[in-house]
Structures are given as structure tokens and as C-alpha cells.
């Protein structure tokens, strides 16, 4: 597999690639982030007309919606689509493919080494453009931009897994050297055939990002340690999730939570009055609506092993609960039980669908 | 109950309005006139409130009947309690007027069964925006104390509070009034037979004259009506036309938080989250091809306008949608403006307990002349083509 | 006088093995404490993680799942899945610092009446040592 040297404005080169693919009929559509100049905002867009590709900002450190989630509703169209995804979005999509919510068949996946994304409140304040130069400088040095999502700063999976094309942005994209675009698969070679650029046989070398990795791991340890500051246990849990307003926004923006109707919104969780009477007689009081902590604990057991740590849940929480940090921390543990890494391999089954006869000998 | 039938009682003086309410509730529980109460209580982390259903009288000490912010719309708490039927518990719920109004709408929609509920409300100065409260609970409490004293919202309050005419309302069973009254004085006024009965059974001294309080309220109301007019004008200018709509909702990420925070949107599975509304992948690509590109997730404007059509007749302008929006879209301002128009069309006011059924549950053979004009125009156009 | 603490252990017992085992314990007149509140399920894999959590948050002092021994599942593989799910819930509890000792899974076959009585006794004792579940008193759940 080969690679293409691109200049430091990697975003432009990806845009050119998308344009090339559209113009030459190699794809029917491109899924990418887009800037909406009149509103100073961004969205995820499916672009079919090459003349509209100028609006694309494929590598912008903004995630308005986890693109993996959106992709699950269009990937089976039978049309060829090139998709630019952040590594966690790609991993989320892999998790969805395992759940039969999408297919790679007609997709060309383009991803990049990721410096993390800015929280939505910075996006909404229109501050992104001014933050980008410093952001790019920081990540090219292998350091962590300060004002990105907390789970981004603590993310060790910033190198795409399974992407057809990897654009190196973080760490090695220094001015004199230029960035690289790695064609990882036959599919990538096929699609990029005829695309201008100096080719070489260079392969992506993750070791250049060791410094970034170390920084991220240190940041992760700090984040996880900060979460148990006030001591673990039920009180800590109530402290963290006690102010939850029950909007279930964390669930609706979660790419893994694909259920049309979440169990916690179903009639299973409507109670008759005797239920409340019983609680009154036992505890003297009960929160209304009930099941606030239950919802989060339930979601942790249902999906945490597939959590890709994208951070959407924290961003949409109206009361600033660090949902993503809790899910990332807990999810790493539940995934580790099965030696599982969410999004690593679409052929892998999700842990609850399979079993080994000999395992967990301490249970039972 | 008409204005002249209103009866009130004077509550014994207490430090703060909230304390007088608590004393009243203690009395009601001790005299076994209520089995339980629903009140806000500070959550253990201290930066928000939660609705607590309680019958343990000692817990009342920690309750805050008139809370600075409203994290969960009270009508949702009442819905979770009585959705499946009224039950046998007599429960007094003390909530903001917009929460009571939402509960009344939900009872018309069959989602709240108020038979054994005693809905109590109070003169509401407004509520601090949720995010502002969470960011600075102590400062917000201080500001709210000032709001409470003046009876007016300040700029930490939700924008819709500034334009709320129904901040003091009688369509509850009980109303605690204190605005415009001399310091530390509080009235409790019955708004229904249920409320009157309770007051009589409690043996509270009745107040002959409500006029001082009524005058105070009317003065404050005049300000709000003025603010409402100018706010609606502003919203109209922003929202008008498709471009206006697009720009107001430009940052929408499609999380549907506004819908889940909305007390009126009670559907378990919103139409816009259902399979019916899901676009099939081919249709999406086709739609994109027609325009050269399409913004994802699709139907975000459809969702908001759809919701306006579905629920604005019952919108009580509580502002929960704006508080829940992660990208600070002024959802509540837009919905409040639209609701004002749709409710006016049917001469309906959401949240009134006057026996008016929901507009879409009834019709008159001759009504809505404006629509007839539209139909006539359309007919004329058709015949001119023939 | 302070009322003695009687734990409540919500027990999800598989119809084919553990529930029958409990029956056998009863017909054999083996003593086991009243703390066990049995709920019959068709298979240990019918126990969704949220069942355990709901029981825990509702104030159960212990939650027990009883299933067929590995390899003996009436539906061939249900108990293997149950074991995985149990491992997940336990891990979530451990991550959050909740008392995972309040959750237990035990393999008890239809013929193991004595084992059922032993597990019931031992687990009850264990829970007695842990004391009352703090969720019983919490009102902010």
C-alpha cells in the first residue's frame, strides 16, 4: 500500500480528494463536516455535487453529531459514499455494523490522526475559527490542546483503526515535512488512482505519535483520578448524577444506543400508585420522576463495553454532568473483561453475543 | 371559580415566603388532610433541585417550596406519579404557575390524573436559567432572593419569564400570594372547591380583602405584558420566513432534548424518532442529489415545525426547552411566539381549568373564517385554471 | 430495642435448576433463612442487568442469580450469557465503588437442595456482615 505526500493544509487536500472522487464518478456522495458561512456554524453534510465541496471542512475539530450514528442510516443505500470520520466516529460505526445497523460495503472510509474536538458550547459561541491556528500548532507538536473535550484529551485511540485512508495530522504534520495521506487498503488504492500527488511506499508509523500517546495516557489517568476525588460509592454516584434532569439526551446522541425506544422510556418503567405508596412507607420520600440513577447504571451495563468515548453525551447534558468521563472509565473496565476494544474489528462479535465455556471461573 | 367567589386566608407570618408555605404543609399533613407532598429539594451536590414526593414530615425542613430554578418541569413529576390513574393518596404539590398549567394540559391529554392531587402555586418572580444556576448556585440563590422580593425576573432568569403574564394564577386549587403585600405577609387563596374545603378544614382565618394583593399583581403584570409585546415583535422579525427559521435553528444538532424536556410532549416514542419518520437511505441520497448536498441528520427543521404543530396549542411557555438545549437555541422564545398565535386562533389559553376542551378535540360547524377565505381563494384559483 | 436486621435478598432462580433446587431444599426440610425472596425465571439469561440494578436500588440487601451449572443449561448456552452479563454488572459496580458483594451468581442444579440451603445461609451471613443496603434510605435515586 502506498502513501501520498500532501502539504500542511491537510484539510484542503482531503477536500481535493473528495472533489476528485465526485468529479470522476468514483463516488456518488461524500459525507463530511461543512462550514455554513452565513451562520458561522458547522454541520455534517452529505454532498453530491462537486461544486459544493468547497464548503467542506473535513478535518475541522468539531463534532455536532457522531457521524458514525448518522452513517448507519445511509450506508446501505447501495450508492458509493466517501466518508470522512474522526477515529471515534469510525469506531462507533464499526460497533453499529456489528449490530447490523450499517455496512462498509459501499463506503470509502477516510480518517485522520485526531487532536480532539472542541465542545459544542465553543462552537455555538462561534469561537472555532480563532482557536484553530493554535490548535493545529499544538497537535503538530504532539501536545494536547487545552480546550478540547475532556474525553478527547484523555483519548488514546486517536489513530484510526480500519480506515481505508489515513491522513496524518497529529504529531508528524510539521511545516517542512508536509502531511501524509496513507492508502491502507486495496479499495483506497483503487479509488485514489489518478489522484495527483507524490507517491511513496511509506507506511503509517504509529511510533511517531508515541509522545502524543504518552501525553494522552497521562491525561487519562488524571481524568479518572479526578472522578473519585470525593470517594467512590453510592454517595459519589448520587453526587455525580443526582442533578440529572432525565432528558435522556446522553442516550439520544450516543452512537451506540441505537434502540428506537430505550427500555427506560418504555412502559416497563411506568409505575402504578402502589409502587409510590410502598416507597413512601419504606423511605418516607421518593424522587419524581423516579429512576434517575437507574437510567445511567442501566445504560452503563447495556452499552459501556462498546463506548468509544466520543464525548457527545457530556456535550449535550444541560446540567454539565461528566457523563462521557464516567462511561469511558467504566467502559474500559467492562471491555477489558473480554479483551475487547470497541471499534477495533468489524468481524469481532460484541461481548454479550458470544461466550467462552471456560471463563470467569470466580463466578458461580 | 369566578373572581368574586375567591376566598383567601391569612397565613401566620414567617421569615420567608417559602417558610410560610412549609408551615402550611406541615399543618395539612399533621391534621391528616394530605398524605404526602411534592416539593423541590436540593440535590446532595448542592447545585440543583429535584422533585421529592414525601410523607416524612421531618424532610420538610430540607425542602425549598419556592426554588430558584426548575430543573425538571413539575408536570412531568406529576405525570410519573399519576399516569396510570389517580390512586388513593391525597398529595399536595407546590409548583410554579407554568408547571401547574402544564399539569392541567396533561390532565386534558389524559396523562395526569389530578383527582387526588391538590395543585398549589405561588406568585412566581421567574426562574433562574438552569445552566446559570448549576454554574453558580450560591450567586443564583442570592439573585433569586432579590427576584422574589421584587416580584420581577432579572437577567439570570429565563427569557420567557420576562414575558410571562400568568405568573400568578388562580387555576390551581391553592395559591400562595405575597407580591404587593406588606413584608412577611402571605395569603393562601382557594382556586377550587377542593382548595376551599382544605382551607376550611384547616380552620385558617379568612381574609376579607384581596384587593391589595390583586393590585400589586396587576402592576407587575402590566410590565410583563409590555415586555411580551416587544419580545414577540423581535421574535417575529427573527423567525419570519424560511431563512429566518433556518437561522434561528441553525445550530440544532438534532438531539431532541427540547422535546424530552417539554412537559407537553408526553409521547413515549416521538413521531420524529419513530421508524415512520426514518428516511430510507436511497431517499436520502436522492434528496441530496437534488440539492447538491444535504445537512445531516435530516429533518431538523421538520422536527421543530412539526413539534410546533403538534403541541403549541398546549404550550405553557415554561422555557424548559431552551434550558435543555446544548447549543443555546432560543427554542422557548420561538415556541412561545408561535403558541401565542395558534392558541389565539382558537381563543384558547393553555393551562386554564375552565372546562375548555383542547381545541383539536372539538369543532364548531361555523368557525375559523380565515381558513374559509383561504379555501375560497384556492377554489377560485382551481376554477380559473379549468 | 433495636430491631434486628433481616436482610432481603432478591433471588432470580432458573426454573429448571436452581428453583427446583430450592424446592428440593424445602421438601427435604433443610433450613434456610427467610431473607431469600425467590423469583422464578425461565433461564438465568432472562435476567437483564437492569433487573439486578433495580433490585439493588430498590433496597435489596443482596441480589442472587441461580442458574444451571455450565454445560447443563436447559437452553444449552443461556447460563454462559448470564455469566458474561453478570461479569459486566459486577465490573460496573466495582468501577463506581458500589458494593459488588451485594450481587451473587451461583450454579445450583435441580438435585442440589443441600447446596441451595448452604448458599442461602452463607450469602445471608455475608450480607448480614455488610449490613443494610444504603440505597434503602437514599431518596435521590
Span B209-248, pLDDT tens digits: 888 899 989 999 999 999 999 999 999 999 999 999 999 9
Range A356-363, long-range pairs (CB < 8 A, 24+ positions): A356/C80, A357/C70, A357/C71, A357/C80, A359/C83, A359/C84, A360/C83, A360/C84, A360/C86, A360/C87, A363/C83, A363/C86, A363/C87, A363/C90, A363/C105
* Cβ(B21)–Cβ(B122) below 8 Å: yes
Secondary structure class of B120 (helix, strand, coil): strand
Residue A310's pLDDT is 98
- B252 pLDDT tier (thresholds 50, 70, 90): very high
Chain A positions in Cβ-Cβ contact with residue B273 (cut-off 8 Å): 252, 260-261
Distance from CA of A211 to the nearest CA of C (A): 28
Inform me whether the C-beta atom of residue C98 falls under 8 Å from chain A C-beta atoms.
Answer: yes
Chains that touch A (3 or more CB pairs under 8 A): B, C
Q: Tens of pLDDT along C8-19?
A: 999 999 999 999
Q: Is residue B79 part of a domain?
A: yes
Mean pLDDT value across chain B: 92
Q: Which of B203, B230, B257 is the last residue of a domain?
A: B230
**Which among B85, B293, B101, B254 has a CA at the least distance from the CA of B191?**
B101
Inter-chain contact B59–C139, Cβ cutoff 8 Å? Answer: yes
Residue B4 has pLDDT above 70, yes or no: no
Average of per-residue pLDDT across B282-288: 92
Q: Which of A283, A304, A364 sits opposite C107 (nearest CB)?
A: A364
- Chain A residues 271-300 with CB within 8 Å of chain B: 271-274, 276-277, 280, 283-290, 292
Q: Is residue C132 part of a domain?
A: yes
Interface-testing mutation among C135, C138, C139, C141, with chain B (most B C-beta atoms within 10 A): C139
Average of per-residue pLDDT across B161-169: 93
Query: Is residue B184 domain-shared with residue B292, that is, in the same domain?
Result: no
Residue in A with minimal Cα distance to B328:
A124
- B386 pLDDT tier (thresholds 50, 70, 90): low
Q: Is residue C111 part of a domain?
A: yes
Residue B205's pLDDT is 73
Query: Is residue B112 domain-shared with residue B28, that is, in the same domain?
Result: yes
What residues in chain A have per-residue pLDDT under 70?
A: 6-8, 170-178, 229-232
Specify the DSSP element, H or E, that contains A42. Answer: strand A41-47
CATH of the domain at C110: 3.40.50
Q: Which of A55, A274, A280 sits opposite B36 (nearest CB)?
A: A280
C-alpha span between A339 and A124 (Å, rounded): 38
Residue B327 has pLDDT above 90, yes or no: yes
Distance from CA of C84 to the nearest CA of A (A): 7
**Which among A82, A15, A80 has a CA at the least distance from the CA of A54?**
A15
Q: Is residue B204 part of a domain?
A: yes
Residue B364's pLDDT is 85
Q: Which of A221, A242, A265 is the last residue of a domain?
A: A221
Inter-chain contact C140–B59, Cβ cutoff 8 Å? Answer: no
Query: Is residue B372 domain-shared with residue B305, that is, in the same domain?
Result: yes
Inter-chain contact A243–B45, Cβ cutoff 8 Å? Answer: yes
- Quote the domain boundaries for residue A157: 3-221
Q: Is residue B382 part of a domain?
A: no
Q: Which of A221, A255, A282 is the last residue of a domain?
A: A221
Q: Is residue C114 part of a domain?
A: yes
Q: Return the percentage of chain B with pLDDT > 90, whole number.
A: 78
Inter-chain contact C92–A330, Cβ cutoff 8 Å? Answer: yes
Q: Is residue B385 part of a domain?
A: no
Q: Is residue C3 part of a domain?
A: no
**Which among A330, A331, A119, A312 has a CA at the least distance from the CA of A236?**
A330
Residue B73's pLDDT is 98
Residue in B with minimal Cα distance to C140:
B43
The owner of cell 467542506 is A56
Q: Is residue A289 part of a domain?
A: yes
Q: Is residue A241 part of a domain?
A: yes
- Quote the domain boundaries for residue B266: 238-376
Inter-chain contact C95–A337, Cβ cutoff 8 Å? Answer: no
* Cβ(A64)–Cβ(A32) below 8 Å: no
Total domains in chain C come to 1
Query: Is residue B123 domain-shared with residue B151, that is, in the same domain?
Result: yes
Q: Which of C86, C97, C136 sits opposite A232 (nearest CB)?
A: C97
Residue B370's pLDDT is 80
- Quote the domain boundaries for residue C51: 9-136
Distance from CA of A10 to the nearest CA of B (A): 22
Distance from CA of B160 to the nearest CA of C (A): 29
Inform me whether the C-beta atom of residue C141 falls under 8 Å from chain B C-beta atoms.
Answer: no
Chain B positions in Cβ-Cβ contact with residue C139 (cut-off 8 Å): 41, 52, 54, 59
Q: Is residue C99 part of a domain?
A: yes
Q: Is residue C141 part of a domain?
A: no
Q: Which residues contact B3 (CB under 8 A, 6 or more apart)?
A: none
Inter-chain contact A265–B269, Cβ cutoff 8 Å? Answer: yes
Q: Is residue B107 part of a domain?
A: yes
Residue B50's pLDDT is 98
ipTM of the complex as predicted: 0.94
Q: Which of B200, B230, B260 is the last residue of a domain?
A: B230
Residue A231's pLDDT is 62
Query: Is residue A175 domain-shared with residue A324, that is, in the same domain?
Result: no
Q: Is residue A299 part of a domain?
A: yes
Q: Which residues contact B195 (CB under 8 A, 6 or more apart)?
A: B118, B120, B172, B173, B174, B189
Chain C positions in Cβ-Cβ contact with residue B59 (cut-off 8 Å): 139
Inform me whether the C-beta atom of residue C140 falls under 8 Å from chain B C-beta atoms.
Answer: yes
By the 10 Å C-beta count (0-12 exposed, 13-18 middle, 19+ buried), B246 is classed as: middle
Query: Is residue A174 domain-shared with residue A131, that is, in the same domain?
Result: yes
Secondary structure class of A44 (helix, strand, coil): strand
Q: Return the percentage of chain B with pLDDT > 70, whole number.
A: 97
Query: Is residue B96 domain-shared with residue B244, that is, in the same domain?
Result: no
Inter-chain contact A252–B284, Cβ cutoff 8 Å? Answer: no
Query: Is residue A212 domain-shared with residue A263, that is, in the same domain?
Result: no
Inter-chain contact B281–A272, Cβ cutoff 8 Å? Answer: no
Q: Which of A294, A305, A326 sits opposite C54 (nearest CB)?
A: A294
Q: Which of B50, B82, B324 sits opposite A287 (nearest CB)?
A: B50
Residue in B with minimal Cα distance to C138:
B44
Total domains in chain A come to 2
Inter-chain contact C97–A355, Cβ cutoff 8 Å? Answer: no
| Angle, CA of B371, B377 and B379, to the nearest 5° | 105
Count of CB pairs separated by less than 8 Å, B with C: 7
Q: Is residue B321 part of a domain?
A: yes
Inform me whether the C-beta atom of residue A65 falls under 8 Å from chain B C-beta atoms.
Answer: yes
Query: Is residue B246 domain-shared with residue B117, that is, in the same domain?
Result: no
Inter-chain contact C84–A352, Cβ cutoff 8 Å? Answer: yes
Chains that touch C (3 or more CB pairs under 8 A): A, B
Query: Is residue A138 domain-shared with residue A243, that is, in the same domain?
Result: no
Residue in C with minimal Cα distance to B59:
C139
Query: Is residue B244 domain-shared with residue B194, that is, in the same domain?
Result: no
The owner of cell 421508524 is B275
Chain C positions in Cβ-Cβ contact with residue B44 (cut-off 8 Å): 140
Distance from CA of B195 to the nearest CA of C (A): 29
Count of CB pairs separated by less than 8 Å, A with C: 120
Query: Is residue B222 domain-shared with residue B182, that is, in the same domain?
Result: yes
Query: Is residue A206 domain-shared with residue A283, that is, in the same domain?
Result: no
Query: Is residue A238 domain-shared with residue A203, that is, in the same domain?
Result: no
Name the interface residues of A facing C (CB cutoff 8 Å): 228, 231-234, 236-238, 242, 263, 282-287, 290-294, 297-298, 300-302, 304-305, 326, 329-330, 333-334, 337-338, 351-352, 355-357, 359-360, 363-364
Residue in A with minimal Cα distance to B257:
A249
Separation of CA C128 from chain center: 15
Query: Is residue A21 domain-shared with residue A120, that is, in the same domain?
Result: yes
Residue A172's pLDDT is 58
Q: Which of B178, B202, B230 is the last residue of a domain?
A: B230
Inform me whether the C-beta atom of residue C107 falls under 8 Å from chain A C-beta atoms.
Answer: yes
Measure the CA dihedral C115/C120/C121/C127, to 10°: 140
Residue A204's pLDDT is 86
Total domains in chain B come to 2
Query: Is residue A243 domain-shared with residue A216, that is, in the same domain?
Result: no
Q: Which of A159, A189, A221 is the last residue of a domain?
A: A221
Q: Is residue B383 part of a domain?
A: no
Interface-testing mutation among C75, C91, C93, C123, with chain A (most A C-beta atoms within 10 A): C91
Amino acid at each position: 500500500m502506498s502513501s501520498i505526500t500532501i502539504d500542511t493544509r491537510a484539510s484542503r487536500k482531503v477536500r481535493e480528494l473528495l472533489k476528485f472522487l465526485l468529479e470522476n464518478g468514483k463516488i456518488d456522495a461524500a459525507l463530511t463536516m461543512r462550514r455554513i458561512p452565513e451562520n458561522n456554524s458547522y454541520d455534517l453534510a452529505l454532498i453530491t455535487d462537486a461544486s459544493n465541496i468547497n464548503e467542506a471542512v473535513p478535518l475541522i475539530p468539531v463534532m455536532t453529531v457522531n457521524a458514525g450514528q448518522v452513517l448507519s442510516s445511509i450506508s446501505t443505500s447501495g450508492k458509493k459514499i466517501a466518508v470522512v470520520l474522526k477515529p471515534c466516529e469510525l469506531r462507533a460505526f464499526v460497533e453499529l455494523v456489528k449490530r447490523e445497523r450499517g455496512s462498509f460495503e459501499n463506503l470509502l472510509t477516510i480518517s485522520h490522526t485526531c487532536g480532539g474536538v472542541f465542545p459544542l458550547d465553543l462552537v455555538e459561541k462561534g469561537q472555532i475559527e480563532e482557536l484553530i491556528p493554535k490548535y493545529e500548532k499544538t497537535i503538530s507538536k504532539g501536545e494536547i490542546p487545552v480546550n478540547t473535550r475532556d474525553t478527547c484529551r484523555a483519548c488514546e485511540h486517536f489513530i484510526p483503526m480500519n480506515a481505508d485512508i489515513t491522513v496524518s495530522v497529529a504529531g508528524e504534520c510539521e511545516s517542512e515535512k508536509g502531511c501524509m495521506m496513507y492508502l491502507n487498503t486495496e479499495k483506497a488504492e483503487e479509488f485514489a488512482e489518478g489522484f495527483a500527488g507524490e507517491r511513496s511506499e511509506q507506511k503509517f508509523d504509529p511510533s511517531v505519535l508515541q509522545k502524543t500517546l504518552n501525553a494522552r495516557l497521562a491525561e487519562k489517568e488524571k481524568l479518572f483520578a479526578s472522578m473519585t476525588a470525593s470517594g467512590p460509592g453510592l454517595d459519589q454516584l448520587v453526587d455525580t448524577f443526582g442533578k440529572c434532569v432525565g432528558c435522556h439526551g446522553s442516550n439520544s446522541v450516543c452512537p451506540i444506543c441505537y434502540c428506537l425506544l430505550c427500555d427506560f422510556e418504555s412502559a416497563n418503567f411506568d409505575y402504578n400508585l402502589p409502587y409510590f405508596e410502598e416507597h413512601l412507607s419504606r423511605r418516607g420520600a421518593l424522587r419524581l420522576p423516579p429512576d434517575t440513577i437507574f437510567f445511567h447504571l442501566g445504560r452503563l451495563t447495556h452499552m459501556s463495553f462498546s463506548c468509544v468515548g466520543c464525548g457527545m453525551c457530556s456535550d449535550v447534558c444541560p446540567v454539565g454532568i461528566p457523563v462521557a468521563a464516567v462511561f469511558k472509565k467504566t467502559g474500559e473496565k467492562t471491555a477489558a473483561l473480554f479483551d475487547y476494544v470497541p471499534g477495533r474489528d468489524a468481524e469481532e462479535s460484541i461481548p454479550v453475543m458470544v461466550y467462552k465455556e471456560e471463563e470467569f471461573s470466580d463466578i458461580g | 371559580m369566578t373572581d368574586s367567589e375567591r376566598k383567601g386566608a391569612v397565613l401566620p407570618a414567617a421569615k420567608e415566603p417559602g417558610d410560610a408555605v412549609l408551615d402550611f404543609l406541615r399543618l395539612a399533613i399533621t391534621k391528616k388532610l394530605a398524605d404526602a407532598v411534592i416539593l423541590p429539594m436540593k440535590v446532595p451536590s448542592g447545585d440543583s433541585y429535584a422533585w421529592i414526593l414525601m410523607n416524612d414530615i421531618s424532610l420538610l425542613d430540607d425542602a425549598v417550596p419556592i426554588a430558584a430554578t426548575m430543573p425538571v418541569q413539575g408536570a412531568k413529576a406529576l405525570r410519573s406519579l399519576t399516569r396510570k390513574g389517580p390512586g388513593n393518596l391525597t398529595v399536595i404539590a407546590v409548583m410554579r404557575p407554568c408547571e401547574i398549567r402544564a399539569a392541567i394540559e396533561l390532565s386534558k391529554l389524559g396523562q395526569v390524573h389530578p383527582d387526588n392531587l391538590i395543585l398549589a402555586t405561588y406568585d412566581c418572580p421567574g426562574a433562574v436559567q438552569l445552566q446559570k444556576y448549576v454554574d453558580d448556585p450560591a450567586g443564583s440563590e442570592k439573585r433569586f432572593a432579590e427576584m422574589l422580593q421584587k416580584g420581577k425576573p432579572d437577567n439570570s432568569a429565563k427569557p420567557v419569564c420576562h414575558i410571562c403574564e400568568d405568573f400568578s394564577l388562580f387555576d390551581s386549587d391553592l395559591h400562595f400570594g405575597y407580591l404587593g403585600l406588606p413584608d412577611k405577609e402571605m395569603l393562601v387563596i382557594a382556586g377550587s372547591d377542593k382548595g376551599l374545603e382544605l382551607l376550611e378544614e384547616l380552620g385558617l382565618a379568612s381574609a376579607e380583602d384581596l384587593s391589595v394583593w390583586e393590585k400589586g399583581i396587576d402592576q407587575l403584570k402590566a410590565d410583563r405584558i409590555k415586555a411580551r409585546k416587544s419580545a414577540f415583535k423581535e421574535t417575529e422579525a427573527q423567525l419570519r420566513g424560511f431563512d429566518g427559521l433556518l437561522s434561528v435553528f441553525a445550530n440544532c444538532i438534532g438531539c431532541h432534548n427540547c422535546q424530552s424536556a417539554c412537559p407537553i410532549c408526553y409521547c413515549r416514542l416521538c413521531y420524529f424518532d419513530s421508524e415512520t419518520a426514518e428516511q430510507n437511505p436511497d431517499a436520502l441520497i436522492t434528496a441530496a442529489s437534488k440539492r447538491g448536498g444535504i445537512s445531516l441528520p435530516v429533518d431538523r427543521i421538520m422536527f421543530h415545525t412539526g413539534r410546533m404543530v403538534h403541541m403549541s396549542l398546549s404550550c405553557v411557555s415554561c422555557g424548559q426547552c431552551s434550558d435543555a438545549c446544548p447549543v443555546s437555541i432560543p427554542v422557548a422564545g420561538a415556541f412561545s411566539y408561535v403558541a401565542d398565535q395558534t392558541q389565539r386562533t382558537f381563543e384558547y389559553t393553555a393551562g386554564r381549568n375552565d372546562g375548555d376542551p383542547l381545541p383539536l378535540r372539538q369543532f364548531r360547524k361555523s368557525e375559523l373564517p380565515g381558513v374559509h377565505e383561504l379555501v375560497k381563494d384556492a377554489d377560485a384559483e382551481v376554477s380559473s385554471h379549468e | 430495642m433495636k430491631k434486628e436486621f433481616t436482610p432481603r435478598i432478591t433471588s432470580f432462580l432458573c426454573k429448571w435448576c436452581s428453583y427446583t433446587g430450592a424446592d428440593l431444599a424445602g421438601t427435604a426440610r433443610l433450613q434456610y433463612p427467610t431473607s431469600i425472596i425467590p423469583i422464578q425465571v425461565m433461564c438465568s439469561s432472562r435476567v437483564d442487568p437492569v433487573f439486578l440494578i433495580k433490585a439493588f436500588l430498590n433496597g435489596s440487601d443482596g441480589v442472587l442469580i441461580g442458574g444451571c451449572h455450565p454445560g447443563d443449561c436447559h437452553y444449552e448456552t443461556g447460563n454462559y450469557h448470564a455469566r458474561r452479563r453478570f461479569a459486566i454488572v459486577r465490573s460496573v459496580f466495582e468501577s463506581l465503588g458500589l458494593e459488588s458483594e451485594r450481587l451473587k451468581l451461583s450454579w445450583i442444579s435441580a438435585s442440589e437442595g443441600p447446596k441451595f440451603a448452604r448458599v442461602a445461609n452463607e450469602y445471608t451471613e455475608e450480607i448480614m456482615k455488610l449490613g443494610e443496603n444504603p440505597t434503602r434510605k437514599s431518596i435521590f435515586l
